[in-house]
Structure 1
């Protein structure tokens, strides 16, 4: 997937390139964050560190990773081409790494402070056969679908708000999805809820004539959000294709997610996907989501 990256993103990525020693070990001038510090807190690097991450996005061997149970800053970019790759210790191709997989990245210990961060001195990658979950990829697809509908709402925006705090994604996964979404459209994402963006001054309110109410809008930006509802046990599945088993034997009982998604620019400029539903298979893969209804404001 080709991405257009704006000047701001380009500057950020350049910092990553300059700091990157992922293939040949960390440089003397590189800085490191907590995961690269030794247990004694001396600030030096550790040898043989392992980062356990979920693959959020994959593009021609370049991986966008979210550290398992990590915070918003634990997002890494890694070029897997040319690295030894295994699946549970057996030979595996980097081309076969998919979004949703759990991977163990062996590296020198330093983490270069760019965003996404760079793991210094990467020596190998081991993909795991357990723990697959591509919910992040599903939500990235939802954001892209929202971008396409009623395109005038996000036309010519210079700021991109993303709120995934109402989902089960970890902090690192939320940041990685927001970054991938922004990168696709040449914008640096701003994470935050409507209330947080209002408090920070991105969203502003103008008094309505003859009323105490205000008209709220984001003049140069648009907020994309996904919020999960309580899980449901079943819903109307699409009809089985020819040759497919129409039964639910391949699905978890209760392995569904129901959510609302919207993009918002003003009190009179918003688009909604309501009661969207997806089912998770026993392998951890989420199905194409169904939209219950759509609305425009």
Structure 2
């Protein structure tokens, strides 16, 4: 019942070389309730045949030049940061773009960082900033009924129901959202968070009643959930208990000419 829940953490796969032997899966560290993430060591890993390059989606940070990147088509945890200061660019980088980064080493932090960056180039692909769309939705949801997420100590995210982002984009989205609010996001469904022991009971089950998550609350945390897609519409919810939740329902989306997205909430619900 109180087994550790996987927390968004390092699962770095180096572009152009293996991060683990063939067939081996890298496992992120786990945190039990009340634990704090230990500082990650900063080790430089020389990339074979450096300078190497890999392709990344710009998830956030283009407006400041401190980019948050998701490995293109990557798996969970493949999140990087890159400062464009001092780099020669033919035009500014934009959120939602796919870019190629040429580099010599990777610093094994979380998110990972590059060393010896020699070039950043734009790819011949159309900009698609749906990560920016979902970040806006999360911030809008944060602002409504703020009592549900005031003075949080723990922040949960569940993007498993989003069907139009890669796993690395979901990881980057979670990290940006958590970092904005000064918290390391805990990833998992409501059921997983309950089973991991983050929730406390509001009431004991009545005789003959089965114990369930509906009897619990997240006393010092809040879970943010996104489901659906930009093409088919999506729902968004924040949850602290069965009687403490706020939802954006039947949201519809349209893509703008510049690759950004706008959305309209079909209905809002509260419990």
Q: Give the TM-score category using the shorter length.
A: 0.7 to 0.9
Query: Partner residue of 1:61?
Result: 65
Query: Partner residue of 1:49?
Result: 52
Q: Say which of 262, 266, 271 aligns to 1:292.
A: 266
1:206-263 superposed Cα distances (whole Å, 9 cap, x missing partner): 424456155121111100011006x7xxxxxxxxxxxxxxxxxxxxxxxx33011000
Cα separation, 1, equivalents of 2:93 and 2:192: 36
Cα separation, 2, equivalents of 1:44 and 1:141: 37
- Number of paired residues? 231
1:46-74 superposed Cα distances (whole Å, 9 cap, x missing partner): 21211200100014111000010111221
Structure richer in helix, relative to its length: 1
Query: Partner residue of 1:182?
Result: 178
Query: Partner residue of 2:88?
Result: 84
Query: Partner residue of 2:123?
Result: 128
Cα separation, 1, equivalents of 2:14 and 2:71: 13
Q: Say which of 137, 152, 155 aligns to 1:142.
A: 137
Task: Check the 8 A contact 2:131/2:173 in 1, yes or no.
Answer: yes
CA RMSD of aligned residues (A): 2.4
For 1:289, what is the secondary structure of its paired residue? strand
Query: Partner residue of 2:74?
Result: 70
Cα separation, 1, equivalents of 2:71 and 2:199: 31
Specify every segment of 5 or more residues in structure 1 that has no aligned partner in the other structure, as ranges.
Answer: 1-11, 13-31, 86-90, 232-255
1:60-90 superposed Cα distances (whole Å, 9 cap, x missing partner): 11100001011122110100111122xxxxx
For 2:53, what is the secondary structure of its paired residue? strand
Q: Which has the larger radius of gyration?
A: 1
Cα separation, 1, equivalents of 2:64 and 2:227: 31
Q: Structure 1 length normalisation: TM-score?
A: 0.72
For 2:232, what is the secondary structure of its paired residue? strand
Task: Check the 8 A contact 1:157/1:222 in 2, yes or no.
Answer: yes
Query: Partner residue of 1:216?
Result: 216
For 1:201, what is the secondary structure of its paired residue? coil
Specify every segment of 5 or more residues in structure 2 that has no aligned partner in the other structure, as ranges.
Answer: 1-8, 22-44
Task: Check the 8 A contact 2:16/2:53 in 1, yes or no.
Answer: no
Alignment of 1:21-40 (within 5 A): 34-35=14-15, 37=17
Q: Alpha-carbon deviation of 1:116?
A: 0.9
For 1:136, what is the secondary structure of its paired residue? helix
Q: Alpha-carbon deviation of 1:38?
A: 6.7
Query: Partner residue of 2:169?
Result: 173
Q: Structure 2 length normalisation: TM-score?
A: 0.78
Q: Alpha-carbon deviation of 1:186?
A: 0.9
Query: Partner residue of 2:38?
Result: none
